[in-house]
Structure 1
Amino acid sequence: MEKETARIEAFSDGVFAIAVTLLVLELHVPEFNAGSNPAALIKALISQWPAYIAFIISFFSIFIIWVNHHKVFKQIYKRNTGLMFANGFILFLVSLVSYPSALLARFYLSDAKQFSVTIYTGMFVLVNIAFNLLWQQATKDKGLLRPGISEQAIKQLRNNYLYGFPTYLIAFVSSFFYPDAALLICVLLWIYWAISSRKINFTAPLIT
């Protein structure tokens, strides 16, 4: 069967690449007077550590989203309008990741820390919802999927995203009270997605 999603995947890869590039714009070179010394530069660079943390978390979050997006589209061979809009929702959210990352970097050391973390974790709740919506649209019409994919494989992918939702939601709720813990949950989720994405590799036809 001919794969009809090549243009969707190419466009999606372009959006992911731009989203990652935008993240680095939040890493700024410190401004100094002409007589500044190396010690002052080191101190200024260290003081920007929230920006580095935000960049690292966001970069690998987008990377893991891209990996899972790639894995999902290995199982999708055809397209319809619902699928394209669901994919567009994912791309819309990915393109926004740089903004909550900038908020986190700028306000993490301020009184607005909690609110910046809440916005950041809320973004990834929406990303998880978007992935669930994409797979729901893909499986609603089994004719869109790769020939020979098994019910077990379909269920595995569905559960992979469904199980992530309550954890993202816990991170979001925790951000109101324990913002540091909420960010730690995001990091742990990044590790979870990295590990779980390795299991989504149904390259050969799976027959039930």
Structure 2
Amino acid sequence: MEKETVRIENFSDAVFAIAITLLVLDLHVPDTNIIKNGTDLLVYLKGEWTSYLAFTLSFFSIFIMWVNHHKIFKQIYSRNTAIMFANGLILFLVSAVSFPTALLARFFDGEASNIAVALYTGIFVLINISYNLLWFIASKNKKLLRPGITNSAILKIRNNYLYGLPTYIIAFGISFQFPAIALAICMILLVFWAFSSGKINVIQE
């Protein structure tokens, strides 16, 4: 069976690459007028810790999303309009990650941290929903999937993406009162998605 999703995957790879590159734009080099010596530079860099945190968290979030996107399209062989639009929704949300990342970098260490974290966790709730939607649409018609995939494998992939959704929703809910804990949950979910992507690869093999 010839794979029909190559153009979708190539376009998606380009969007992921651009989205992950945009994150670095929020890292700023200090003006030479305010840096007189090494101590000044160290003080400045310490003051920018929220930018480094936001950049690191979002970089690996997008990277792991790309890994999972690659793995899921190893299972999808054919396309229809619904799959293309569901994939477009994923790309739209991924390309928007840089905005809440910038808010997190600027406001996490202040009184507006709860709203910054809520917006940050909120976009990952939507991204998780979009991944679930893509797989739901693709798996409804087994003819769209790779030859020989079993119903058990389809169910395992579906459950894999569903598991993260309630956790993201919890992180979003508590971010208004406990933003640091909500962000820690996002970090834990990064580890979960990193390991779960390996499960998809096992399913494929």
**Shorter-chain TM-score range:** over 0.9
Matches within 5 A, 1:74-93: 74-93=74-93
Check conservation: 2:60, 2:190, Cα contact below 8 A.
yes
Matching residue's letter, 1:74: K
Question: Which residue of 2 is the match for residue 122 of structure 1?
Answer: 122
Q: Measure the CA separation in 2 of the matches of 1:72 and 1:22.
A: 24
Q: Measure the CA separation in 1 of the matches of 2:80 and 2:47.
A: 49
Check conservation: 2:175, 2:182, Cα contact below 8 A.
yes
Shift of 1:111: 1.4
Sequence identity, in percent? Answer: 62
Q: Does 1:97 align with 2:135?
A: no
Matches within 5 A, 1:1-208: 1-33=1-33, 36-201=36-201, 202-204=203-205
Q: Measure the CA separation in 2 of the matches of 1:139 and 1:34.
A: 57
Shift of 1:203: 3.6
TM-score (norm 2): 0.97
Check conservation: 2:4, 2:79, Cα contact below 8 A.
yes
Check conservation: 2:35, 2:41, Cα contact below 8 A.
no
Matching residue's letter, 1:126: L
Q: Measure the CA separation in 1 of the matches of 2:46 and 2:40.
A: 10
Shift of 1:35: 6.4
Q: CA RMSD in A?
A: 1.0
Q: Please list every run of 5 or more consecutive structure 1 residues that lacks an aligned counterpart in the other structure.
A: none
Q: Measure the CA separation in 1 of the matches of 2:122 and 2:55.
A: 17
Check conservation: 2:23, 2:58, Cα contact below 8 A.
yes
Q: Please list every run of 5 or more consecutive structure 2 residues that lacks an aligned counterpart in the other structure.
A: none
Counterpart secondary structure, 1:200: helix
Richer in helix (by share) = 2
TM-score (norm 1): 0.96
Cα–Cα, structure 1 residues 79 and 41, in superposed 2: closer, same or farther, change >3 Å?
same
1:3-22 per-position Cα deviation (integer Å, ceiling 9, x unaligned):
00000000000000000000
1:79-114 per-position Cα deviation (integer Å, ceiling 9, x unaligned):
000000000000000000000000000111221111
Shift of 1:34: 6.6
Shift of 1:142: 1.2
Matching residue's letter, 1:155: L
Matching residue's letter, 1:192: F
Matching residue's letter, 2:174: S
